[in-house]
Each structure stands twice: as C-alpha cells, then as structure tokens.
Amino acid sequence: MLSSSSSSSSSPHLLRLLFLSLVLCTFHVSFASSSQSVGLGYRLVSIQEAPNGGLIGHLQVKGTTSTYGPDIPHLQLYVKLETPDRLRVHITDAAKQRWEVPYNLLPREQPPLLKNTIGGASTPPTTQEYVGPNLIFSCTSDPFGFAIKRRSDGEVLFNSTSNKDDPFGNLVFKDQYLEISTRLPESASLYGLGENTQPGGIKLQPNDPYTLYTTDISAINLNIDLYGSHPVYMDLRNKGGVGSAHGVLLLNSNGMDVVYRGDSLTYKAIGGVFDFYFFGGTRPLDVVNQYTSFVGRPAPMPYWALGFHQCRWGYPNISYVEGVVENYKKAHIPLDVIWNDDDHMDAAKDFTLDPINYPHDKVVAFLDKIHSRGMKYIVLIDPGINVNSTYGTYNRAMSSDVFIKYEGEPFLAQVWPGPVYFPDFLNPKTVQWWVDEIQRFHKLVPVDGLWIDMNEVSNFCTGKCEMPKDNLCPDPKSKEPWLCCLSCTNITKTRWDEPPYKINASGIQAPIGYKTIATSAVHYNGILEYDAHSLYGFSQTIATHKALLGLEGKRPFILTRSTYVGSGAYAAHWTGDNKGTWEDLRYSISTILNFGIFGVPMVGSDICGFYPAPTEELCNRWIELGAFYPFSRDHANFASPRQELYVWDSVATSARNALGLRYRLLPYLYTLNYDAHVTGAPIARPLFFTFPNMERVYNMSTQFLLGEHVMVSPVLTQGATSVKALFPKGTWYNLFDMTKAVRVTEDNGQYVVLDAPLNEINVHVCEGAILPMQRGGYTSAEARKTPFTLVVAFPMGASEAEARGSVFVDEDERPVMRVEDGYATRVEFYAKVSAKTVTVMSEVEAGKYSLEEGMVIEKVCVLGLEGSVAGEVVIEVDGMPYSGDVSSVHVSGGSSTSLERLEGGGKMKAVVVEVAGLNIPLGKKFVLSWKLGVTN
C-alpha cells in the first residue's frame, strides 16, 4: 500500500522526502567522520573458561568521557564457538541486565549469568587465543581488542584493535552509545547492511550512509534507512584469483549507524549490547547456509506462491476484481493470485468487508470461483486498530489489554482508518488475540494468505496525540488522508525520545519517534519502544504465521513490509513503494539480491512501479525482468492509470513470453524454494555466488542468477534493443531458443552484445546443468499437472562432460517441507558424455508421492552434443528394460551455433538432441543412453 511517506506525486510530505534524498550527498561526509575522543577503551582484567565451554572475561574501562553519557565501568565478555563455523562474541554490562533481542523471538543460547567476573583474577597475559576447528578468537589486553581469524587460510575476518593513526577508536560502551570498529583489507567487498536502496549496486560503497532503523520511507529514496533492519554483512575477498567469503552479524535491534570507509567499518548503536556472530564461510553459499542455520531457515512457500500475482490499490468493488481476473484469462496471461489492498475493508478497518462494494456473499462467491480454477486470494491488513467502540476487533483488544502504552494509556496514533492503537506483539496475550481475530476473519473470508503492511510501525502523526476538539478525524471529505488530523505535541522530555547520539534516521537525523510510536512508549513487561522499535514487523510476522498455521494445517503465505533478522523464516517480502522509472527498475535487482543474503529469498519488487504511471516500454521491460523475481507481482497506486499486463498489447506479448518461461520453469523454481528452506540458498543470487573467483562480477547488479546455473540479463535502458551481458566461462544456452548459445573460453568471462527486441529478455542456462521443466499453463495448478522435460546442458562440442540437477515435488500446502515417502519426492539427475556415449540417469528418494500423482518425464533435451544419435536409444527403469510404448519414443536433432558477435567465438556447431515420446515415472530410477554418430 502507499505509505505515509509516498502518498502521491503532489504530497508535500513526499516532496520533502525527495528533497532529503538530494541533500544526502552533502550530509554523509560529516556522517562518515569519526572521533577517538568518544571513549578511552577498556582493558581485559581477567579471562577464564566458562561453565559451558566458552570463555568469560571481565573488562574494565580505562577512563571516562562525558560524550554521549558516562561509560559503563565493567563489562562482561563471553566468547563461544557454537559450531565449527560460527563463533559468538557477546559483550554487555557486567553489573546490570541490558536489553537484547528477546530470546523467545530469535531462539539462541543464553550467555552465562552476570556478575561472575567482577573482581576476578589477576591481569591476564598480553594475548589470548581460543582455537576452534575453523575459527580462532584472539584478543589483546590493554587496550582490549579482539580478532577473528580463519584457520584454513589465516585470513583475519574481523579486528577491533585500534592504532593511533586509525580513523576509529577503541571499544566504547555507554548506556545509549556503543561503538566498535573493524579494519578491512583493500580486497574486501562488502554486501548487506540493509534495508536501503543502493544506487551504486549491490556492493557497499565507502562513505555512503548505512543506517539501520525501520522507517516508513518509500524505496524511491536512496541511501536511507527503509522498512527493514538487517545488521549483517557478507565480506568477499579475492587473493591470487581465489575468492573467499565470511559473514558478520551484530544482533542488536537498537537504531545504529554503520560507517564504512573502505578500509574500516564502525558500528554506532544507541543501546543494547554487542552480540556478534561470525560465520566462517568460505563460499558465499556457505555463509548464507551458516547464517540461516542460526537465524532460521527460510519459510517454505506453497507452489502457487511462485506463480504470478496481480494487485492494485484502487479496485473499487469485487466485480472489478473479478473483471481483472477474467481479462487476464482472455489475454492468455498466466495468473495465480489476485490481491486486494485496503479496498475490501469497511473504512480501512482490519478484518472487515465493505458492505456495499465488497458484500460478503459476492466475495465468497468470487473466491469459490477462483478456487475452483486453482487460483488464490490475498488481502492486506495493517497493525493499527481503529479506535471505535462499534468495532468488534477493537473492543476485544481493549478487553484483553493488548495495546502499546504511553503514560499508562494506549498510545494514540493515526493511520488509514484514522485514530488507531497499536497491538503489542511482544505480549503473549496480544498474540493470542491476533490469532483469534485472524481465525474469525478466515471464517468470514477464506483468504489464502495475508499481507501485513505499514508495520515499521507507520504513523501519520508524531508525538503525544489526542482526539481533536474542533474537527473530524478522519475528515471524510479529505483527499489527503495521510495528513495528521489528531492534536499532537512533540515529546522531548526523556532521553529515549531525545537520545544523546542522533543516528542518521531518515537521512536527516530526524527524531527517532518521528512518524512512528514514541520511543518512550512501553511494551509488555516494561520493554521500551526505544529498544524494540525495529522488531515490530518481525514480532507481528511471527504472530501472523502462528495464526495462519493453525487455520487449516496449510503452509502459511505472508508478505511483510518490515523485516528484521530472522523474518525470512516466516514470510516473504517486497521492496515497498517504488517508482515507475528506469532507475527503479535497475535498483530493484540489488535490493532483491540483498534480501537473499539476509535469508529472505522470497522477495520481489512492484512490477511496472507503484507510482506514477510507467511508460508502455518500461512496463514491457519490467515484466520481462519481474517474471524472474522470486516473488512476481504487479502492484500499482490508485492515483496511477491502470497497468495490468493486458492493458497494452505489447506488454501482454512480453508477459506471455516471459511468464510462459517462468511457468515452464516452476519445477526448477520450486526446487530452489526447497533448497532455500533446507540450506538458506537464495533463489535469486548475485553472479559471485557461483563464480566467487571472478572479481569482475563482484558488483554485477544488472544481471543475476536463479539458482546456480540460470542467468537473467534484462534490458534496463530506455530505447535499447540489445543488451551487453557478461558471461562467465563456459557454454550458455538461450532458454527461449536453445539453438542459440554463447561460448566463452576466457577465465575472467567476456561481454557479449545480445539481441533484445521489445518483447524479449535473455535468459540462459550454463553448461553442467540439468533443468527440470514442464509445459506450463495459465495457473501453477494447471502447469504442475503436465509432464516433465529434462534439459541437459553440456559444454558445446565436448566429448567428455558431466551435468547434474534435481527436482523436489511435494504436497505443497503441507506445513512441513521435507522428503517424506507418500508426501514428497526428491530426484537427483545425472548425465555424462564419454567415449561417444551419452547417459542420462536418476536417483530417487521417496518416490511414492510422485508415483501416486502420476508424474512422468516425457522428454529429454540434450544440448551441446558433437554428434547425432547412432543406433537405438536404450532405456532402463528400476534396472529393467523400459516397459512403456517404445514405438512412441522418437529422436530429433537440430544445430546449435555460438553467437557470431562473440569475440573470437567462431561458428562452432553442435547438435540439440531431443528424445521425446517418453513416459518414464518421475518416482522411479531410470537410465537412458545412446551412442553418438558423426554429424555432417
């Protein structure tokens, strides 16, 4: 939905935010400066083995300063190697419990009890080492600093020790200001630290501001803290042509600035503790695997969620929504899910239906109709609950006492329904109330998922507010409902509302309670909003997931705007309010790739832009790209002209082409969804994930990979009819026309100019892959019932080569996603060409489910062969000769040539061999082979 910060092109608030993004370039210079006068550091007084096998130490301040408040005199250091590749360093006040991310929200081991180290043993040796299988912790005593090193190559991953010439100082630990730094080598390329829109690409840029604090600011604003907070980064280094990666997480939910200078990185947090987790790597995939094994594996998505979604803020009634669905059908454009923004609600109140425009009987009849086609329906809900004594949800909430408080009363704010209170999802009673409200609503409207928006949390007002005495709020005649209509006064009387250090909130060091909940407001058990602010969306997501999980025992689908560390274990995400511009088209790629690193692989951007109106050409290019986002949804603002994909004939053509391939690739995408759930592997990922040794792809933000082998190279420039794409070494086959190939022999890759007419996007598969594909369809339910084709990609003309791939299929609405006989099947495919013999085979795990569902392989398409089929194709199934209709099996071949414009590429020829007419059960092990003859 349109946020309060991006209401319309004419909104004064929006114009102010656009101005902020322009002044950032002058502000960040001073933001990046650092002073060693903030604190004088600590010395290590004692260190010993902890009861649970780690180390526990006592730090004592060396001297105090008054900057940002008094230093905490004694700190407890706790170091624990939690796995061979994950090491934790936890530093907190040794005398008093401090705020940390709640252990029930993000389960993890509790550090030892406090006060075990004060007044401890004698001065320790100058250095200490704690050696694990793969990681080493070492520290210096005076001033205290620590380093993390990888054993395998000796690489120092993090080093907090400060020298007098460094632009950063030693450890600082005050009540409302924590600072720590690490030096970085020149070879370090950093990724992460979001959520923000990065105009320079996915790689972090020195001296750009990186502020982490959840804020309702639209994604059109560059280098500003946006909807989510992810204080984690991946560091990729290249030595001697070999890339190695590691990850660093600071688990702290308080607002913070991260100052990245290129050769160092400094954290400046306004509360909490230092709770570092270091992930040893060494491949990018290893880092994400290790990270998600700690913060939570990505949630399994139902199969239909990988289909195409259509949404718009401004569908006036249910008949209109029905017309959109029918228009997609008439245009022969695939569509799986239709969405409603807040149009379905009665006066924007959660869990209600507009009795005039969305009457209950018509909505239910519409759902019955689309459900019969295998389609789904999702609606939006916001956290703000309208203060309205005629509203059942509000009354039940008041009875259960579930709202965040200010001075003992529910904190009053304003969002779309007008005056609202915000539920406190840190309160167990609130979670149960929320679960109950969702269950009540589902009985009224059997929706298939929920969209939780505005949960940073967004507030149209600032400060302490009261109902106005002289005007209506909301004013039913107002055309600007995002303007505050309550009577409000700023809150500046506490150190929580006006902390001593001002983070770069909103790009202007705005008060941290600006357009959100007052930071001196109180949650359950006395928790301050100051500490828990960035956890709001995360806590709401967990409660929503619990509710959906208990409805019908189905796999939940949740889309959330605000995210935190671990959100991917419960929900998908979209990049928020973007613009219909060529720049925003390009920016979307970097943000999506970042969220894969954050452990949120199901992510997308509003296709064609949220506002204002895109051009026809831009919408063509955006659906071509958006068809390959993990989460693919067209979404627009009510003030923009219609932009459904069928509005323009040319866009409809592009949609049929691009989505047609997406729907044929659904088995591959769903398998990537499974892999993400099991290992954390992103669905969409940067090229360096597969090619970590190739430095020239380290900031590649205009192309990306789906999985390991499928590369998407979109047009991102107005008027372009070709695209210059970088191809890593190997043979790459065009998935729209497999007789077209690019062959690169250079170790560092090569740029190739590809044709890209208006209705076409370039998508290639690399040698070594076996892709499971199906025929496609207009819904995923239809597509998944069609037979499989295996596309086997060998290097062009290779006489000795191998390829492999896999497919996972299951009863996709079960909450669990695992290989289990009768419920799911996983098949590994292998292929090789050797001694003029081609062999394609499979290994099956738990084949019962796919056998019962009648899933079969109808075709094997082998690319890059040097010769044609000579003699009979031999097929064995479960070790026995193929029992199917052999007369239906037929072989065909065509030529495949490398692109002539590839420098030095020549015109190599190879054969595409199709073995069709098969009927091999997917759930049975098979071997298919033939001899190669000479091609004339």
What span, in angstroms and rounded, lies between the C-alpha atoms of 483 and 537? 23
In degrees rounded to 5, what are phi and psi of residue 773? -135, 160
Contact 830, 843 (CB under 8 A): yes
- Helix-then-strand count for the chain, H and E: 14, 51
Calculated CA dihedral for residues 536, 506, 198, 577, nearest 10 degrees: 60
Helix (H, G, I), strand (E, B) or coil at 920: strand
In degrees rounded to 5, what are phi and psi of residue 900? -65, -25
- Beta pairing class for 308-310 and 632-634: parallel
Burial class (CB within 10 angstroms; exposed 0-12, middle 13-18, buried 19+) of 881: exposed
Contact 418, 482 (CB under 8 A): no
Q: Which of 630, 626, 586 is nearest to 608 (CA)?
A: 626
CB atoms within 10 A of CB 365: 12
As a 3-state breakdown, the chain gives helix, strand, coil percent values, each rounded to 5, of 20, 30, 45
Q: Which of 302, 294, 383, 382 is nearest to 566 (CA)?
A: 294
Contact 137, 278 (CB under 8 A): no
* Owner of token pair 């020149």: 186
Copy the structure tokens of residue 97: 């419990």
Q: Which one of 453, 497, 584, 624 is the catalytic residue?
A: 453
Tell me the Ramachandran region of residue 56: left when phi exceeds 0, alpha when psi lies from -120 to 50, beta otherwise: beta
Q: Which residues contact 553 (CB under 8 A, 6 or more apart)?
A: 814, 815
What span, in angstroms and rounded, lies between the C-alpha atoms of 449 and 554? 10
Single-letter amino acid, residue 675: D
Copy the structure tokens of residue 259: 């100052």
Q: Which one of 286, 336, 456, 606 is the catalytic residue?
A: 456
Contact 443, 537 (CB under 8 A): no
* Owner of token pair 């450890």: 171
Copy the structure tokens of residue 272: 């909490």
- Residue 671 CA, distance from chain mean position: 17
The sign of the dihedral angle between the CA atoms of 473, 478, 481, 487 is negative
Active site residue 577: yes
CB atoms within 10 A of CB 203: 17
* Owner of token pair 């902890």: 50
CB atoms within 10 A of CB 361: 8
- Beta pairing class for 603-604 and 572-574: parallel
What span, in angstroms and rounded, lies between the C-alpha atoms of 889 and 626? 37
Per-residue DSSP letter, 641: P
- Beta pairing class for 74-83 and 86-93: antiparallel
Strand partners, 158: 148
Q: Which one of 577, 624, 767, 914 is the catalytic residue?
A: 577
Cα-atom radius of gyration of the chain, to the nearest Å?
28
In degrees rounded to 5, what are phi and psi of residue 96? -145, 140
For 113-124, give one letter per residue: b (16+ CB within 10 A) or e: ebeebbebeeeb
* Owner of token pair 């239909």: 304
- Residue 197 CA, distance from chain mean position: 13
- Residue 817 CA, distance from chain mean position: 19
Return the active site residues.
Answer: 453, 456, 577
